[in-house]
Amino acid sequence: MPVAASAIYFLNLRGDVLINRLYRDDVGGNMVDAFRMHIMQTKELGTCPVRQIGGCSFFYMRISNVYVVIVVSSNANVACAFKFVVEAVSMFKSYFGGAFDEDAIRNNFVLIYELLDEIMDFGYPQNLSPEILKLYITQEGVRSPFSSKASDKPIPNATLQVTGAVGWRREGLVYKKNEVFLDIVESVNLLMSSKGSVLRCDVTGKILMKCFLSGMPDLKLGLNDKIGLEKESQMKSRPAKSGKTIELDDVTFHQCVNLTRFNSEKTVSFVPPDGEFELMKYRITEGVNLPFRVLPTIKELGRTRMEVNVKVKSVFGAKMFALGVVVKIPVPKQTAKTSFQVTSGRAKYNAAIDCLVWKIRKFPGQTEPTLSAEVELISTMAEKKSWTKPPIQMEFQVPMFTASGLRVRFLKVWEKSGYNTVEWVRYITKAGSYEIRS
Amino acid sequence: MAPPAQSQRSPSPSQPSGKSEVSDLKLQLRQLAGSRAPGVDDSKRELFKKVISYMTIGIDVSSLFGEMVMCSATSDIVLKKMCYLYVGNYAKVNPDLALLTINFLQRDCRDEDPMIRGLALRSLCSLRVANLVEYLVGPLGSGLKDSNSYVRMVAVMGVLKLYHISASTCIDADFPSILKHLMLHDSDTQVVANCLSALQEIWSAEASTSEEASREREALISKPFIYYLLNRIKEFCEWAQCLVLELVTKYVPSDSSEIFDIMNLLEDRLQHANGAVVLATIRVFLQLTLSMTDVHQQVYERIKAPLLTLVSSGSPEQSYAVLSHLHLLVMRAPYVFSSDYKHFYCQYNEPSYVKRLKLEMLTAVANESNTYEIVTELCEYAANVDIPIARESIRAVGKIALQQYDVNAIVDRLLQFLEMEKDYVTAEALVLVKDLLRKYPQWSHDCIAVVGNISSKNVQEPKAKAALIWMLGEYSQDMQDAPYVLGSLVENWDEEHSAEVRLHLLTAMMKCFFNRPPETQSALGAALAAGIADFHQDVHDRALFYYRILRYNVSVAERVVNPPKQAVSVFADTQSSEIKDRIFDEFNSLSVLYQKPSYMFTDKEHRGPLEFADELGNLSIGEAANNVVPTQMVEENDKDLLLTTSEKEETKGSRNNGSAYSVPYDGSSTSVFASQTQIESAVSNPTLAGHSPQASFAIDDLLGLGIPAAPAVLSPPQLKLNTKAALDPSTFQQKWRQLPVALSQEISVSPQGAAALTAPQALLRHMQSHSIHCIASGGQSPNFKFFFFAQKFEESSNYLVECVINTSSAKAQVKIKADDQNTSQDFSTLFESALSKFGTS
């Protein structure tokens, strides 16, 4: 059986129960105590997200300041259980409008109980799609004051709509202005050796959509990926246009995408859910354009002094710029004093994370600012040998840039009423785990 | 009523603590119950919310049951839901009051709003009160026929709930066959999916007693049904797809074309956004092609990309769950993944449970072409801040070296580790150098030069110390100061806490003695004397054995202890292939994460230390922190290194069964006794071996102290016990809760008994021979916990015993409960005498 969860608990960081929903009788009532005693109050916390205590297995996840714990008594499917928690949390978020944390749970606990009743019955997952649930659980969450107020219109006879052929979209939607927003969000993961060679590099990307379309539209998305283009040129029996094509290592799609058609024609066609959703996810390892190069030189001058020079080169187009660039350069624990010189941005020493933190708010392409710092250390007896350097880490966002080179070639919307649509496409590349060993 | 512990521990303003609030609520609810005033629903909502929040934090609000039911006459759906939730929670403890709710729930089951019908039916089935099941059958029957799919969906799960409350009612009402009909004909896929879950559970449970049920269960994996599901799979929601895929893995296709058909049909599932669906599909593919070697290979290639995507997306917990599966596949077919090694490089911020799996995979995929890169990467981690990971990565380097790729470069790396002067790095590297030398003796020259420079004072960890001592003994010829280093270790014998190290020291002294007798003789004498006086059984035995074999003939001793060695070619695998296959069969489940087959953690007898849920809190966490290395572990370590694979599997097997274990220990304890008497006679014999007079003098002196006399055996009192007593665990638990403690005392255990108690099983056998049976046991040396029971001969009067034994202090804390309090003293004497004989008989 896939999950058959016996119970679900939400606990805060102290171990107080926020929500407690028992689905089956095969576990005792004191499971929370067992979790507190054997996981939360020991060093075990964080060493492994799956633990067995007595005859029960506990799967737990920390999400902001809440632990979500699933208890099972059989040999359950863990991947499914974790996925369920993640989906449930995103569903809760869509109800509360934003955060999922202790306060949101306390404010909405009745609603959460209601939802928990619907999304899981006797331990088996049921329908979890927020679009469908909102049809018959119309109680509005207590929203944080910053989020916009959602329209509150209960739809009569909701249950009739739950189980149509298109489970993720209801009929009869009407928008004055038909709009589609497409966001291509990529995160680059990099691991570079101290000698400047790339040890590991990949891009995980996702295409997020926001649809405000009337009726039951059929959408078709064309990308500049290799297989899709080749297939297309085959079908039209003319040679593929020269230009950059992307080889996707692996793609997964939202359940709305017609996978049979993708496999035969290599086009992404779908009837979208209403509102926001993640259309597809992909991964690329070949031909990644790294947006930044980091050239560090760190010299230890004797026992009490260090010289740090870091040059960061932006290698994307000169007209583009990166936002929120942060470079974290680790220094030893016994750092006493630091002094900086930077050609751009601001730098300071953060003792809590033992790092020099260099921030550049707006970072144009094709530039190479530098940081040079002198670090004075307290001399200690204990430190026998050279300190082991953690890698330099970088955070950034580069709008209108994709590290993979992926581009949207077209997005076609077809609906029987034949209305006009406005399409918006945005690209952004973020740092995933961008590490440079020094 | 005392405030519950929870609210005491967390006194936040939103968590009131006492009875006054509850009785206050009660009053307010009463006032509202009859009121028809406008806006009354809103105030009811507030009150209900309060009740539910008290319930959540653990305050007992069951006393409000009557008032809650009275207030439930409302049309407000949110109010209804809260009330249902409350009722579901407390009906079980208030079966009489629950009867009150039946009425309004049944009425709601006939409401015109399908939403309310469904909700009411769900709550009705969640009451979990056995004597109310008669009220369930009617509403369930009509629920299953409801025109609305939501109600049918709920009703199907309701049938399963009913089955768990009262299986016979469910079967008598013929619900399974109605479900079967629904499963085959309902238009709603969620209803079908729920039928499938319910029927799988019901028929699996019934299969053991009813032939019909087992036939039905077989029919679920018959060709027509599987095809019926597969053809509709895209209509199911993602969770139901997992369920269907799970079922498909059990299906055995008739020929290979069928296999390909299924795989073609399911191939697009590998692109599903839900990782659980992808994993379930992968399992289907792997299972279907098990017998087709080349296709199986292609499947590995095909599933690689989706698996690697799943690993790199989602939260660390999710990627851990997937990574465990990838780990399993990598271990089965490392060559398939050898070009993907870069995916297994660790990121700095990853949690250590992810890093650990990645390290193992890096080790497994190493081959001629990528070893250099992998070892270079692993060496980076050796300087990692996370010490356990640093250790693992050093071990990984060693394992790769033992796999025989490019050893040259790796040995240099390991020797560099030794020079890093970090305690843990040195310790791990020493152990590895030792293993390497056993496999590649030709490296001894290079290694010895480096190892010779390490001061034994800087090495504290038992394993590393033992490795260093082993090398000192083995290569004492080449290491200038070996006898003196070993000698100084012998001088500090008493400060050496690890038995493993002392054992190695004894052997190393012997080897050193054979290589360089004049320099070692006096130290060897001291070592043997200290060894014989050692309280640890194995150390004692080994020292005695060496002493006697030396006395018998020095050259024979040399042939036994220090023969020319052959290089070890293959190190034993830690897990048998049979177990690995079983884990593979249970792909996509907990087994893969725990790395053991499900029977080891779901069956009661395999569960080990903690059996009663009630006892969870009582066994202290500190148990694991014992410094004394139990003999069993030492033995296992030795076996790890020397046993062939098959022997190793045998020991594993017997430990898994947990039964055969007590035998060797019983045997060893008797032989110890026999040999000790022999020493006494040997010592009185004046012809002592000439070459170690000091040693024999020391022995003489030591044995003068004598062996502790066995505790006087108490004569058993006149209480006769039933040799074939039987009691099932639940009765035991129940009795244990009900009965008061008749006697509670501390008994001392004989030292021999304490030494023989390395695993709980040893004692179980012994006690059983005294008609005292064990119902649960657990713990690790030195703390063991047992629950025993016994029955009076020809009477059904029971004695229950909780016994906690600490082997290091040789004390047992015993609590006895008895049906017949008068005879508990007699029983206690009997128990004490049985326990005192343990290890001596």
Interval A83-99: pLDDT, tens: 999 989 988 888 887 78
- Residue ending a domain, choose from B564, B579, B599: B564
Q: Give the whole-angstrom CA distance, residue B25 versus residue B50.
A: 8
Region A366-387: what's the mean pLDDT?
79
Residue in B52, B115, B188 closest to A110 by CB: B52
Q: Give the whole-angstrom CA distance, residue A348 versus residue B774.
A: 66
Closest CA to A223 of A30, A31, A411: A411
Answer whether residue A52 is part of any domain.
yes
pLDDT-based confidence at B600, cuts 50/70/90?
Answer: confident
Region A21-47: what's the mean pLDDT?
78
Q: Give the range among A224-233, B598-607, B783-792 with minimum mean pLDDT.
A: B598-607
CB of A273 closer than 8 Å to CB of B273: no
Res A149: pLDDT: 35
Instruction: Based on the fold, state whether residues A188 and A211 are members of the same structural domain.
Output: yes
**Portion 322-381 of A in contact with B at CB < 8 A:** none
CB of B527 closer than 8 Å to CB of B507: no
Answer whether residue B248 is part of any domain.
no
Instruction: Based on the fold, state whether residues A219 and A238 are members of the same structural domain.
Output: yes
- Residue ending a domain, choose from B564, B582, B604: B564
CATH code, domain with B825: 3.30.310.10
Residue A238: pLDDT above 60?
no
Q: Do B82 and A25 touch (CB under 8 A)?
A: no
Interval A342-351: pLDDT, tens:
999 999 999 9
Interval B422-467: pLDDT, tens:
788 888 888 888 888 888 887 787 788 788 777 777 788 888 889 9
**Portion 113-152 of A in contact with B at CB < 8 A:** 113-114, 117, 121-122, 124-129, 136, 139
Res B814: pLDDT: 84
Which H or E run contains B68?
A: helix B65-71
**Portion 205-244 of A in contact with B at CB < 8 A:** none
Q: Is A383 on the interface with B (CB under 8 A)?
A: no
- Tell me how far CA of residue B445 lies from CA of B211, B421, B441, B449, B516, in angstroms: 71, 21, 9, 6, 19
Between residues B659 and B426, which one has the greater pLDDT? B426
Q: Do B380 and A437 touch (CB under 8 A)?
A: yes
Answer whether residue A148 is part of any domain.
no
Res A233: pLDDT: 67
Answer whether residue A114 is part of any domain.
yes
Neighbours of B185 (CB within 10 A): 9
Answer whether residue B826 is part of any domain.
yes
Answer whether residue A152 is part of any domain.
no
CB of B541 closer than 8 Å to CB of B505: no
Res A155: pLDDT: 37
Between residues B451 and B392, which one has the greater pLDDT? B392
| Mean pLDDT rounded to a whole number for chain A | 83
Res B623: pLDDT: 37
Percent of chain B surpassing pLDDT 70 = 81
Answer whether residue A323 is part of any domain.
yes
| Mean pLDDT rounded to a whole number for chain B | 77
Residue in B12, B276, B617 closest to A77 by CB: B276
Closest CA to B14 of B48, B54, B46: B54
Runs of H (alpha helix) within B533-589: 537-552, 554-561, 577-585
CB of B119 closer than 8 Å to CB of B80: yes
pLDDT-based confidence at B608, cuts 50/70/90?
Answer: very low
- Domain of residue A121 covers 5-132
Residue in A42, A75, A163 closest to B591 by CB: A75
Q: Do A113 and B81 touch (CB under 8 A)?
A: yes
Residue B522: pLDDT above 80?
yes
Res B299: pLDDT: 92
Region B647-675: what's the mean pLDDT?
38
Q: Give the whole-angstrom CA distance, residue A163 versus residue A168.
A: 9
Res B604: pLDDT: 56
Q: Give the whole-angstrom CA distance, residue B683 versus residue B218.
A: 73
CATH code, domain with A349: 2.60.40.1170
Answer whether residue B471 is part of any domain.
yes
pLDDT-based confidence at A236, cuts 50/70/90?
Answer: low
Q: Do B276 and A83 touch (CB under 8 A)?
A: yes
Closest CA to B268 of A268, A189, A91: A268
Answer whether residue A192 is part of any domain.
yes
Residue B786 DSSP SS3: strand
Instruction: Based on the fold, state whether residues A273 and A419 are members of the same structural domain.
Output: yes
Res B676: pLDDT: 41
- Residue ending a domain, choose from B564, B590, B609: B564
Region B375-390: what's the mean pLDDT?
82
Answer whether residue B459 is part of any domain.
yes
Chain B residue numbers touching A384 (CB-CB < 8 A)? 421
Runs of H (alpha helix) within A68-155: 78-96, 102-107, 109-119, 130-136
Interval B229-279: pLDDT, tens:
998 888 888 889 999 999 999 899 988 899 999 999 998 888 888 889 999
CB of A188 closer than 8 Å to CB of A201: yes
Q: Do A251 and B276 touch (CB under 8 A)?
A: no
Q: Do A80 and B322 touch (CB under 8 A)?
A: no
- Tell me how far CA of residue B569 lies from CA of B406, B439, B471, B652, in angstroms: 16, 6, 19, 21
φ/ψ (deg, to 5) at A67: -100, 130
Q: Which of B65-69, B378-382, B384-388 has the highest mean pLDDT?
A: B378-382
Which of A65, A107, A252 is best to mutate for the B interface (most B CBs within 10 A)?
Answer: A252
Chain B residue numbers touching A37 (CB-CB < 8 A)? 616-617, 621
CB of B4 closer than 8 Å to CB of B59: yes
Instruction: Based on the fold, state whether residues A127 and A185 are members of the same structural domain.
Output: no
Neighbours of B283 (CB within 10 A): 24
Region B400-410: what's the mean pLDDT?
74
CB of B114 closer than 8 Å to CB of B150: yes
pLDDT-based confidence at B800, cuts 50/70/90?
Answer: confident
Closest CA to B707 of B670, B676, B665, B667: B676
Res B474: pLDDT: 87
Instruction: Based on the fold, state whether residues A83 and A100 are members of the same structural domain.
Output: yes
Interval B463-498: pLDDT, tens:
888 998 998 888 888 888 888 888 888 888 888 888
Between residues B617 and B749, which one has the greater pLDDT? B749
Q: Give the range among A205-214, B269-278, B432-441, B747-756 with minimum mean pLDDT.
A: B747-756
Region B566-573: what's the mean pLDDT?
70
Percent of chain B surpassing pLDDT 90 = 15
Region B310-319: what's the mean pLDDT?
86
Interval B5-50: pLDDT, tens:
443 343 344 444 567 788 888 888 887 776 767 777 788 888 888 8
User: Which residue, chain included where needed, has tokens 């099983």?
Assistant: B761
Q: Do B197 and A1 touch (CB under 8 A)?
A: yes
Res A307: pLDDT: 92
Residue in B276, B420, B598 closest to A75 by CB: B598
Instruction: Based on the fold, state whether residues A44 and A115 are members of the same structural domain.
Output: yes
Q: Give the range among A414-423, B20-29, B607-616, B765-774 with minimum mean pLDDT.
A: B607-616
Is residue B782 reached through a cis peptide bond, with omega within 30 degrees of 0 on the bond before it? yes
Res B130: pLDDT: 79
Domain count, chain B: 2
pLDDT-based confidence at B575, cuts 50/70/90?
Answer: low
Interval B275-295: pLDDT, tens:
899 999 999 999 999 888 889
Runs of H (alpha helix) within B91-188: 95-108, 114-125, 134-144, 149-165, 167-172, 175-185
| Measured torsion, CA atoms of residues B62, B66, B68, B69, in degrees rounded to the nearest 10 | 130
Answer whether residue B465 is part of any domain.
yes
Residue in B318, B322, B594 closest to A86 by CB: B318
**E-strand stretches of B222-265:** none
Instruction: Based on the fold, state whether residues A33 and A81 are members of the same structural domain.
Output: yes
Residue B90: pLDDT above 90?
no
Instruction: Based on the fold, state whether residues A277 and A411 are members of the same structural domain.
Output: yes
CB of B101 closer than 8 Å to CB of B120: no
Closest CA to B835 of B762, B779, B777: B762
Instruction: Based on the fold, state whether residues A263 and A330 are members of the same structural domain.
Output: no
Instruction: Based on the fold, state whether residues A406 and A321 are members of the same structural domain.
Output: no
Q: Give the range among A7-16, A26-35, A215-224, B101-110 with minimum mean pLDDT.
A: A26-35
Res B621: pLDDT: 35
Closest CA to B77 of A16, A137, A391, A265: A137
Domain count, chain A: 3
Instruction: Based on the fold, state whether residues A319 and A240 are members of the same structural domain.
Output: no
User: Which residue, chain included where needed, has tokens 């710029």?
Assistant: A321
Interval A20-29: pLDDT, tens:
888 887 776 6
Q: Please report the ipTM that was assigned to this predicted complex.
A: 0.81
Closest CA to A221 of A425, A419, A429, A400: A425
Which H or E run contains A433?
A: strand A422-436
Answer whether residue A118 is part of any domain.
yes
Res B180: pLDDT: 92
Chain A residue numbers touching B201 (CB-CB < 8 A)? 1
Residue A164: pLDDT above 60?
no
Residue A113: pLDDT above 70?
yes
Res B607: pLDDT: 47
Closest CA to B53 of A14, A66, A10: A10
Q: Give the whole-angstrom CA distance, residue B446 versus residue B439.
A: 15
Answer whether residue B157 is part of any domain.
no
φ/ψ (deg, to 5) at B598: -60, -30
Which of A3, A48, A80 is best to mutate for the B interface (most B CBs within 10 A)?
Answer: A80
Q: Give the whole-angstrom CA distance, residue B662 versus residue A76.
A: 33
**Portion 409-428 of A in contact with B at CB < 8 A:** none
Residue in A18, A121, A254 closest to B157 by CB: A121
Token reading at A383: 């430190």
Q: How far apart are the first and last CA of chain B?
A: 54
- Domain of residue B778 covers 721-837
Q: Do A204 and B312 touch (CB under 8 A)?
A: yes
User: Which residue, chain included where needed, has tokens 């066609």?
Assistant: A269
Answer whether residue B587 is part of any domain.
no
Res B193: pLDDT: 92
Percent of chain A surpassing pLDDT 70 = 84
Answer whether residue A361 is part of any domain.
yes
Residue in A25, A53, A83 closest to B164 by CB: A25
